[in-house]
Amino acid sequence: MKKLLLLLPMSAFILFSCGHGSEEELEKIQFTATSPLVKDTTITRQYVCQIRAIQHIELRALEKGYLEKIFVDEGQKIQKGQRMFQIMPMVYNAEFQRAEAEVNYVEIEYQNTKQLADKNVVSANELALAKAKLDKAKAEMNLARTHLKFTEIDAPFNGIMDRFQVRLGSLLNEGDLLTTLSDNSQMWVYFNVPEAEYLNFKQKSLEGKSIPVNLLMANNAYFSHPGKVETIEADFNNETGNIAFRATFPNPEGLLRHGETGNIEMPAKLNKAILIPQKATFEILEKKFVFVIDKNNVVRQREIKIGAEIPDLFIIEKGLKGNERILLEGIRKVKDGDKITFTYEKPERVFPTLSVYVE
């Protein structure tokens, strides 16, 4: 038991001696300090996006009948006006022929009535009735022609066919979905932007500045063509505080398809941003801190809020001023309240020595 009691004070001494150095030891260590760099900086903000074809429509049957012919294939490039589907037209063709015959019959009646009216054999009212009967027959023929035309489904624009929802010989009802058609010549890319970033963007837009955006695809490769923001939705989402932007990208090679996802990267300029090296910070319970050196050369632990991150640098949103001194080297050798000796390096000399430094 006595041996155990003797070991306890010794253990406490060892633990204490392994912690931060004593005041005499700190005086022997030459620490390095610097200050934040205050400058206008451009950062890249990233937003999750949804990629949509500039035109993407559903092709549906306009008439009831059996699907008689399919002239195209899934995934095929289609030209505007190209025949795609044919619904069995026999019934509608017969209706058109009947209506056409009725027009011919009524027109003969009208011509006979007109000759008699010219000779004052029949009244003007009878001629008007014959004319109205002819007009009605022509209207019914045009209606029958329209129904017949609806059995032929042509491409309304250049695009790419999607999967067939029906097969040859299927009995179709009016409104049944046949397939979808996408015009991928240009792509609309939608992404949500917070209110503060929206205001910054609008201010730059009012100045006549066009901000390009880049698309990072799902395979972490950049799309080869830059885009630009052309449209912003009218209202904010009250639940998220975001508003939807729409960027347009040219797609001449057809790489992008409707329904893909990715990330939009948009540059944002920060005026008089406060930058510090990432290595000057440390983390406690997921919060970021720096050691600020006061006028008496005493280090004070202070929490900071990070506004943005770029390689090797943090942009400070809150917690630090541009003219304060911060500990750069040796942050793990001190604790709050320690007095140190240090060498001060100007930020203009420190920042270029980092592995990545953006001018």
334-344 pLDDT, tens per residue? 899 999 889 99
Q: Is the pLDDT of residue 97 over 70?
A: yes
With H, G, I as helix, E, B as strand and everything else as coil, classify residue 114: helix
Distances (CA, A) of 50 to 22, 58, 180, 235, 257: 58, 19, 18, 18, 11
Domains, the chain, ranges and CATH? 21-41+271-353 (2.40.420.20), 45-54+184-268 (2.40.30.170), 89-150 (1.10.287.470)
- In the prediction, which pLDDT does 355 show? 64
Phi-psi region of 198 (alpha: psi -120 to 50; beta: other; left: phi over 0): alpha
pLDDT tens, position by position, 255-307: 999 999 999 998 888 888 999 999 999 999 889 999 999 999 999 999 999 98
- In the prediction, which pLDDT does 145 show? 87
- In the prediction, which pLDDT does 12 show? 39
Q: At 16, which amino acid appears?
A: F
Average pLDDT over residues 23-47: 82
The chain-wide mean pLDDT, for the chain, equals 85
* Stronger pLDDT, 200 or 60, i.e. the higher one: 60
Q: Which pTM value belongs to this model? A: 0.69
Lowest-confidence region among 36-40, 67-71, 124-128, 343-347: 124-128
Q: Is the pLDDT of residue 325 over 80?
A: yes
pLDDT tens, position by position, 184-242: 999 999 999 998 888 878 876 656 666 789 999 999 999 999 999 988 898 998 888 89
Spatial contact of 269 and 205, defined as CB atoms under 8 Å apart: no
CA atoms within 13 A on the CB side of 335: 5
- In the prediction, which pLDDT does 80 show? 93
Helix (H) or strand (E) holding 250: strand 242-250
Q: Is the pLDDT of residue 138 over 50?
A: yes
Instruction: State the pLDDT confidence band at 314, using cuts at 50, 70 and 90.
Output: very high
Q: Is the pLDDT of residue 8 over 60?
A: no
- In the prediction, which pLDDT does 252 show? 93
CA dist., res. 243 & res. 194, Å (int)? 7
* Stronger pLDDT, 82 or 30, i.e. the higher one: 82
- In the prediction, which pLDDT does 356 show? 45
